[in-house]
Structure 1
Amino acid sequence: MDNYKMILFDLDGTLSDPKEGITKSVQYALEKMGMVETDFDKLKRFIGPPLQVSFAEYYNFDEEHTQRAIDFYRDRFKETGMFENKLYSNIPLLLKSLKEQQYTLVVATSKPTVFSKQILKYFNIDQYFDLIVGSNLDGTRTSKTDIIQYILDKYKDHQQDDFIMIGDRKHDIIGAKNTGIDSIGVTYGYGSFEEISQSKPTYIVKNVEQLKDILMTSRVS
């Protein structure tokens, strides 16, 4: 077991379950774009990847229409959607335990930083994180690779093997691989076991308890 020191957490599908807020905000955006979508399970695909990617991939929006849809999405999300959300069981306990063991905890999410900070504060878990890094509202720094690299550049005094990325979608695992760090794929979120396993993370866990077992075995030296 490696002695990790820097633990990077994805937000949606890893720390919290944002299904209601995200799917309803996507539905609202589509309605504003003249499209009716009643299948919320279909909209679960939007949880995790950048909105720019999802609107273009799933509804064939060009760049202009994608940006309009994102603007509509954010109108609802910032007022209501971000709070239609719940922490996964035992996440606060996990974060508290890790901080007590002197780990440095960082959020690495494709969600805009400004919304991410509000959500973490809403759940009263912002206190556990030394840094919160998301995308920019202007559409830059949306890929998980760019986000992780930004974090690595912030902690240049650490080696790559000090870091590990935790997430529930292939984008988290691919971002970790692209930046040369280890990863843990969690299957309790919104990525299937097939999606996670095909991305070949360093570890795969099915619940928060298994996640804690792996991380607490790796004590900061």
Structure 2
Amino acid sequence: MSTYKIVLFDLDGTLSDPKVGITKSVQYALNKLGINEPNLNRLDCFIGPPLQETFSSKYGFNEHQTKLAIEFYRERFKEKGMYENTLYPQIPSLLSELKNNGVILVVATSKPTVFSNQILDYFTIRDYFKLVVGSNLDGTRSAKTEIIEYIVQQLNVSSYSDVVMIGDRMHDIIGAKNVGVDSIGVTYGYGSEDELKKCTPTYIVHHVEELRKLLVSGVMVSNEKQ
């Protein structure tokens, strides 16, 4: 019996490892704008948060530059980047087990919904999810708080204690807290344990197997409740 009735999953860094596709697409966009960044590891910060936020904060881009950067990013991402991506081991079996237990599964991501659906189709896991909610292509509804609020409204959630948000970055945890639902921070993605702990998630787990045991039976493998 699952400990939650509705489970929200972030996509990048939680269901899949999108590092190659995202960082190479960012690198491509920067190059188009005259910025050479040969080290893809320096672009890990783009995995998870809205692109508008990261282009602005990391490179000091103004609104026009940020818009151009996102347009260039999408040129490459639509053609190649979204497929330079791998599912984390055990994710399909976790989704299957949860759905078979009657849990409602939802993707809650800052990535545009249209790309998110294509990626889930590519991995053949789209059918596990009742809803896939991401940002709009014009950049609206990109904050995780807005996305979670939209989901609970769409599902007519009456008891927020039935809901949990799972993600690897502070935005996931803060969004859950702002809406009033539980959260699980996963350290196998791209947010550090320190980043997650500062936001005080309900739980922190390090592996998909730990996540499975927590979601299916409420058992913590190596961590106390935060």
Q: Distance in 2 between matches of 1:194 and 1:37?
A: 26
Structure-2 residue corresponding to 1:23: 23
Alignment of 1:85-96 (within 5 A): 85-96=85-96
Structure-2 residue corresponding to 1:175: 175
Q: Distance in 1 between matches of 2:159 and 2:71?
A: 39
3-state SS of the aligned residue for 1:61? coil
Alpha-carbon shift at residue 3 of structure 1 (Å): 3.8
Structure-1 residue corresponding to 2:144: 144
Structure-2 residue corresponding to 1:79: 79
CA contact (8 A) 2:165 2:172 kept: yes
Structure-2 residue corresponding to 1:217: 217
Q: Distance in 2 between matches of 1:207 and 1:46?
A: 22
Q: 1:14 to 1:157 in 2, by over 3 A?
A: closer
Q: Distance in 2 between matches of 1:66 and 1:26?
A: 12
Pair 1:41 & 2:35 matched: no
Alpha-carbon shift at residue 155 of structure 1 (Å): 1.4
Alpha-carbon shift at residue 162 of structure 1 (Å): 1.0
Q: Distance in 1 between matches of 2:112 and 2:158?
A: 26
TM-score of the two chains, using structure 1 as the length reference = 0.97
Alpha-carbon shift at residue 158 of structure 1 (Å): 3.1
AA matched with 2:125: I
Q: Distance in 1 between matches of 2:60 and 2:160?
A: 37
Structure-1 residue corresponding to 2:224: none
Residues 92-149 of structure 1, C-alpha deviations (whole Å, 9 max, x = no match): 0000000010000000000000000000000000010000000000110000000000
AA matched with 1:6: I
Q: Which runs of 4+ in 1 moved over 6 A?
A: none
Q: Distance in 2 between matches of 1:45 and 1:138?
A: 21
AA matched with 2:115: F
Alignment of 1:1-221 (within 5 A): 3-218=3-218
3-state SS of the aligned residue for 1:117? helix
Please give the root-mean-square deviation of Cα atoms over the aligned residues, in Å: 1.2
Residues 14-57 of structure 1, C-alpha deviations (whole Å, 9 max, x = no match): 00000000000000000001110011111011000000000000
Identity, in percent, stands at 61
Q: Distance in 2 between matches of 1:201 and 1:3?
A: 16
State the number of aligned residues. Answer: 218
* Stretch deviating more after TM superposition (118-127 or 2-11): 2-11
AA matched with 1:145: T
Q: Distance in 2 between matches of 1:23 and 1:3?
A: 35
Alpha-carbon shift at residue 176 of structure 1 (Å): 0.1
Residues 161-187 of structure 1, C-alpha deviations (whole Å, 9 max, x = no match): 110000000000000000000000000
TM-score of the two chains, using structure 2 as the length reference = 0.95
Q: Distance in 2 between matches of 1:57 and 1:138?
A: 19
Alpha-carbon shift at residue 88 of structure 1 (Å): 0.2
Q: Which runs of 5+ in 2 are unaligned?
A: 219-226
